[in-house]
Amino acid sequence: MASGSDLSRLKEQVASATDIVVLTGAGISADSGVPTFRGKDGLWRNFRAEDLATPEAFERDPRLVWEWYNWRRELIAAKRPNPAHHTIVELEQRCRHFWLITQNVDGLHRDAGSQKLSEIHGNIWMVRCTVCCHVFENRDVPVQIPPKCHDCGGLLRPHIVWFGESLADEDLRRSYAALRSCNLCLIIGTSGLVYPAAGFASVAKEFGAFVAEINLDSTSQSPLVDVSLLGRAKDIVPLLLDPIQ
């Protein structure tokens, strides 16, 4: 668990920051019951995310990839934002300059009310036509396989950034601009293994921000952050807004 003095230091930073960036990963949604990618419960039929979340896997077997997404859709549809998601909304409302960068595709930040955000890996409730590239919302659970585009009849895929694909230019531009200008960067519930997000903490640090990590365990980012608080996001993040004693 976090040491009291580290928590106090971070609360002071939160209280005085005028420009905050929050980066989240699967750990924040774990507290809402969504399995993380690299935890034991993240496996589906013994496949890892890296085996299924690729353009090659989809080309080889779109049905299998859609079955995996249907499993994830069903799981996520029943989940609600937790106190950590809600605290991030409050930070957004209190702080003059704020940006949330999430790697999560579950949409729980939007459900909580976050508005200033980049969903850099996409959103599970959006689909894209592999032929005409039309992007639209699809909340079906399950999606009928194979899903077809209403416009051109082409095969639909999840509108998610898969391994080996590039993030949207606009998301990268906004994220790096926010990381370069912030004075506080909070890294919550990410293993820090997937780039470019894994490099975001060091960008914020290089540009002078106070960087803090909140995670159940130490990660590859822990040595470079100013404060590392160990514990559940849903327990620790709300404490950041408690009055300073």
Q: Identify the bridge partners of residue 97 per DSSP, sorted by sequence position.
A: 19
Chain CA centroid to CA 225, Å: 19
* Catalytic (active site) residue 86: no
**What's the token pair of residue 114?**
């976050």
Question: Which x/- pattern over 15-34 shows residues binding ligand OAD (rule: CB under 6 A)?
Answer: ----------xxx--xx---
- In angstroms, what CA-CA distances link 199 with 14, 55, 241? 22, 23, 27
- What whole-number distance in Å separates Cα of residue 57 and Cα of residue 9? 46
Pick out residues in 152-181 that bind ligand OAD (CB under 6 A).
161-162
Residue 72 engages ligand OAD in binding (rule: CB under 6 A): no
Burial class (CB in 10 A: 0-12, 13-18, 19+), 113: middle
In the 3-class helix/strand/coil scheme, how is 126-159 assigned residue by residue? EEEECCCCCEEECCCCCCCCCCECCCCCCEEEEE
Answer yes or no whether residue 211 interacts with ligand OAD by CB under 6 A: no
When asked if residue 38 is in the footprint of ligand OAD (CB under 6 A), the reply is yes
3-state class (DSSP) for residue 102: strand
Task: Bin 214: left if φ > 0, else alpha if -120 < ψ < 50, else beta.
Answer: beta
Q: Which is nearer to ligand OAD, 131 or 194 (CB)?
A: 194
Please, what is the minimum distance in Å from the beta carbon of residue 152 to ligand OAD? 26
Binding-site size for ligand OAD (CB under 6 A) equals: 26
Residue from 146, 193, 199, 241 that binds ligand OAD (CB under 6 A)?
A: 193
Smaller CB separation from ligand OAD, 49 or 127: 49
Catalytic residue among 97, 121, 134, 159: 121
Which CB, 20 or 85, lies closer to ligand OAD? Answer: 85
Tell me which residue has its CB nearest to ligand OAD. 27
Query: 144 or 166, CB closer to ligand OAD?
Result: 166
Q: What is the largest CA-CA distance in the chain?
A: 61
- What is the contact surface with ligand OAD in residues (CB under 6 A)? 25-27, 30-31, 36-39, 49, 53, 103, 121, 161-162, 189-191, 193-194, 215-217, 219, 232-233
